[in-house]
């Protein structure tokens, strides 16, 4: 696989450009959320609205690589987490822990800034 993936979008999902995208257990792209069984796919390169659509009715282009996402206020990623895993809170936020088994892995923490977390998704 290359730097970009074109993924079928889950039924009734709306994915915003720049959002953290995950693939659900059925293999369809959806916005990142607090859930188990998701596989982090990357960052959406476009907005795709599949509201009212069936699984796979639309596709989204996702870029893999290193991206900055918001840091969780309740479960913040810190410098001690660099080169460790971080976890999906929503389509723009990551956290330090899996929330007692409620969150899926987002990717590897490469750096933590005052305004976000650099996450490697590959």
The pLDDT, as a whole number, for residue 2 is 67
Rounded to whole angstroms, the Cα distance separating 82 from 112 reads 8
Question: Over 70: is that where the pLDDT of 65 sits?
Answer: yes
pLDDT tens across 80-111, in order?
A: 999 999 999 999 999 999 999 999 999 999 99
């Amino acid at each position: 696989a290359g730097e970009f993936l074109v993924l079928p979008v889950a039924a009734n999902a709306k994915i915003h450009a720049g959002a953290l995208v995950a693939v659900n257990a059925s293999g369809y792209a959806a916005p990142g959320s607090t859930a188990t069984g998701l596989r982090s796919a990357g960052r959406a390169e476009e907005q795709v609205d599949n509201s009212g659509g069936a699984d796979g009715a639309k596709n989204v282009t996702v870029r893999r690589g290193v991206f900055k996402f918001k840091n969780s206020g309740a479960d913040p990623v810190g410098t001690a987490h660099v080169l460790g895993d971080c976890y999906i809170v929503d389509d723009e936020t990551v956290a330090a822990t899996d929330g007692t088994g409620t969150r899926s892995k987002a990717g590897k923490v490469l750096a933590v800034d005052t305004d976000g977390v650099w996450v490697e998704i590959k």
